[in-house]
Chains A and B, each alone.
Chain A
Amino acid sequence: MPPFIRIQNISKKYGVLQAVDAVSFDLEKGELFSLLGPSGCGKTTLLRILAGFEVPTSGLVEIDGQNMANVDPADRPVNIMFQNYALFPHMSVFNNIAYGLQRASLAKNEINHRVEDLLKLVHLTGMGERKPATLSGGQRQRVALARALARRPKLLLLDEPLAALDKKLRSDTQFELVNIQEKLGTTFIVVTHDQEEAMTLSTRIGVMNEGQLVQLATPNEIYENPKTRFIADFVGDISFVPAKINRQDGDYWLMDAAVPIYAACEHNLEAGKSITLAIRPEKITLTPEASGKINEFPVRIDDWAFYGAGTQYRVTGPGGIKLKLFQSHNQPSNAQLRPDQIETGFIHFAPESIIILEDK
């Protein structure tokens, strides 16, 4: 049994520019997959290749066992929800959604029926006669989704589906999108530059950089174990500390940074090698007094910002180590750790929370 979606060695060159570089991955039926990367990383090109708007320089796309080479966009079991929705401004909501069905020459009754169902699905019942220009941003987004789903594609491509919405609307819509996807069981590929969007939406994420797929894993895995410094930096907040591997010491490895740091590592490391240590802000604990824990040292608090759910600090440690840390307000005492009250403190973090990046 072949995978539902198979993308094999897809490359695309524009002159000397390698837009997509030998990308391969498989998707299962019903997956909600995100392609995450900064602008210009090749994710949109890959999306357009899947939709059939671009012909890959080399490689193979298979959907449900069918080779997509030489299949027109119009004939692919793939639909796309465009970044700015690309709703037809001269058509009503109803006609926008019905457009794909009319092209398939479905019976009028059938079309009416299916459009009504879709309107219901996206909570726009009764809005069929409106023109897109009279709708709110969120409503337009839902029309675009309904239109893209109308032909019951095997694969739905969503190009920055939430980018045009304001922040408050975005989180509601995210859950709505996941609900609809789960209800229909359609395979979704979401292209986004927003790591938060990718994290909350998808079952798996493919991170792209400079045309290559640099990591493909679950959101959790990508966050906790980024493969490269680029991914670590791109996904979530993080602080980097340059270090050198010293030696194994009991369960941990001793690293020579500005201060000695103990880190956990499951595999063997090469002593003397320069590496980068990375640590997420929420993994660091800030206390007013020393507590004698492992990986503890004094810091000066440079700056802080109140986020409601917690407070973010910027601190400088011995040897000028600069770290970002985030203290959740789940402990009332944390709320008092403010520079207007204290200027110095101690931080500590578990060796298991340290990410060892060997690439640079």
Chain B
Amino acid sequence: MMRIFFQKYGFLLVIWLPVGWLSLFFMLPLIEMINVSFSEARRAVPPYNPAFQIGEKGISFQPVFDNYLLIYDYWGDYLWPAVNSIRLAFFSTVWCLFFAYPMAWWIARSKKPLQHILLVLVLMPFWTSSLLRMYALIGLLNPNGVINDFLLWAGIIVTPIQMMQTDFSIYSGMLLTYLPLMILPLYASLVRLDNALLEAAADLGAKNWEIFRTIILPLSLPGVIAGCLLVFIPAVGEFVIPALLGGPEQLMLGKVIWTEFFRNRDWPVAAAIAIILIAIIILPVVYARYQDKEGLS
């Protein structure tokens, strides 16, 4: 009975399982967030009056635009954290790329067994909680942390260096968290790079830097782009890292959303900011993809 079922409908299962998965865990929460962002805040459980309702009176949809208007009215309050988020996420991405590229190159050019060990090492940090890693970093960067203690002991500095609550601590945390997400796609594109291409370039008179610029970099560009998106997108909305490692100067949109949600108890405005953030990040990516397709045809 079961066997016949699978023989007959197995292919449907294969198609609909991912679709169901994505709808359940990606589309539905997103739709609910859009719904909340168009709802009216109130003091109740839940603390908003859903714009889209299925109830005794049937299905109704009464969107409220106040939340978006409020963001528009107070745009000055949101612009700076937004710019700051993009700045911190951008430079975090740049730093990740800067450190990940040589590492990915080295792994991709290593012999097979070593390559697998190195890849496991890259993924190893994921085996511990990110929160623990952040606290470990605090232990290193604190005024009385390991690094300052060592420098004081060695007589290199007389007063502790302020590393916590700075851009530096944010970048350290971002690097620690997101470096593997940059290394893996870079590795994937570099490992496919045929050694003969590099030799051909050298043979045709290219110096090391020219080989990198004209052959390696353009051919690893898909990996660079994938890695940058994988780092930049979550980094923009990052909450934990600036909350633990940053100070007020490192205010990011994640914290602004948190404030709207927890301090102002305004879930709809929090949702609206999140939606706008998604739009700001996603639209350029979609546009770039679209341009890409246009260019190909």
**A residues whose Cβ falls under 8 Å from a Cβ of B:** 51, 53, 72-75, 78-80, 82-84, 86, 88-90, 99-100, 103-104, 147, 150-151
> Which residues in chain B, 64-80, are within 8 Å of chain A measured between CB atoms?
none
Interface residue B116 (Cβ < 8 Å from any Cβ of A) = no
Q: Which 8 A-B pairs have the closest CB atoms?
A: A100-B204, A103-B205, A86-B196, A86-B200, A73-B202, A74-B205, A90-B218, A82-B196
Let me know if A86 and B197 touch, CB within 8 A: yes
Known: A86-B194, A86-B196. A80 touches B203 (CB 8 A): yes
> B201 contacts which of A51, A83, A99, A104 (Cβ < 8 Å)?
A99
> Which residues in chain B, 176-209, are within 8 Å of chain A measured between CB atoms?
194, 196-197, 199-207
Interface residue B219 (Cβ < 8 Å from any Cβ of A) = yes
Let me know if B219 and A74 touch, CB within 8 A: no
> B203 contacts which of A51, A83, A104 (Cβ < 8 Å)?
A51
Let me know if A73 and B218 touch, CB within 8 A: no
User: Whole-angstrom distance from the CB of A148 to the nearest CB of chain B?
Assistant: 8
**B residues whose Cβ falls under 8 Å from a Cβ of A:** 194, 196-197, 199-207, 210, 214-215, 218-219
Let me know if B197 and A88 touch, CB within 8 A: yes
Let me know if A84 and B207 touch, CB within 8 A: no
Let me know if B204 and A99 touch, CB within 8 A: yes
User: Whole-angstrom distance from the CB of A116 to the nearest CB of chain B?
Assistant: 18
Q: How far is the CA of A90 from the CA of B192 in the complex (A)?
A: 14
User: Whole-angstrom distance from the CB of A64 to the nearest CB of chain B?
Assistant: 18
Q: How far is the CA of A308 from the CA of B214 in the complex (A)?
A: 51
Known: A88-B215, A90-B218, A99-B214. A74 touches B200 (CB 8 A): no
Let me know if B210 and A80 touch, CB within 8 A: no
Let me know if A90 and B219 touch, CB within 8 A: yes
Let me know if B205 and A53 touch, CB within 8 A: no
Residues of B within 8 A of A80 (CB): 199-200, 203
Q: How far is the CA of A106 from the CA of B199 in the complex (A)?
A: 21
Known: A90-B218, A103-B210. A74 touches B196 (CB 8 A): no
Closest to B210 in A: A103
> A74 contacts which of B207, B214, B215 (Cβ < 8 Å)?
B207
Contacts A/B (CB < 8 Å), 21 sampled = A51-B199, A51-B203, A72-B202, A73-B199, A73-B202, A73-B203, A74-B203, A74-B204, A74-B205, A74-B206, A75-B205, A80-B203, A82-B199, A83-B196, A84-B196, A86-B197, A88-B214, A99-B204, A99-B206, A103-B205, A150-B204
Q: How far is the CA of A100 from the CA of B194 in the complex (A)?
A: 19
Let me know if B219 and A151 touch, CB within 8 A: no
> B202 contacts which of A74, A84, A89, A147 (Cβ < 8 Å)?
A74
Let me know if A82 and B200 touch, CB within 8 A: yes
> A86 contacts which of B199, B207, B214, B219 (Cβ < 8 Å)?
B199
Q: How far is the CA of A80 from the CA of B201 in the complex (A)?
A: 10
Q: How far is the CA of A79 from the CA of B203 in the complex (A)?
A: 6
Closest to B221 in A: A90
User: Whole-angstrom distance from the CB of B284 to the nearest CB of chain A?
Assistant: 23
> B199 contacts which of A53, A88, A100 (Cβ < 8 Å)?
A53
Q: Which of A51, A78, A82, A84 has most B Cβ within 10 Å?
A: A82
User: Whole-angstrom distance from the CB of A209 to the nearest CB of chain B?
Assistant: 26
Residues of A within 8 A of B203 (CB): 51, 73-74, 78-80
Q: How far is the CA of A89 from the CA of B219 in the complex (A)?
A: 8
Known pairs A78-B203, A80-B199, A151-B205. 18 more at Cβ < 8 A?
Answer: A51-B199, A53-B199, A73-B202, A73-B203, A74-B204, A74-B206, A80-B200, A80-B203, A82-B199, A86-B197, A86-B200, A88-B201, A90-B219, A99-B201, A99-B214, A100-B205, A103-B204, A104-B205
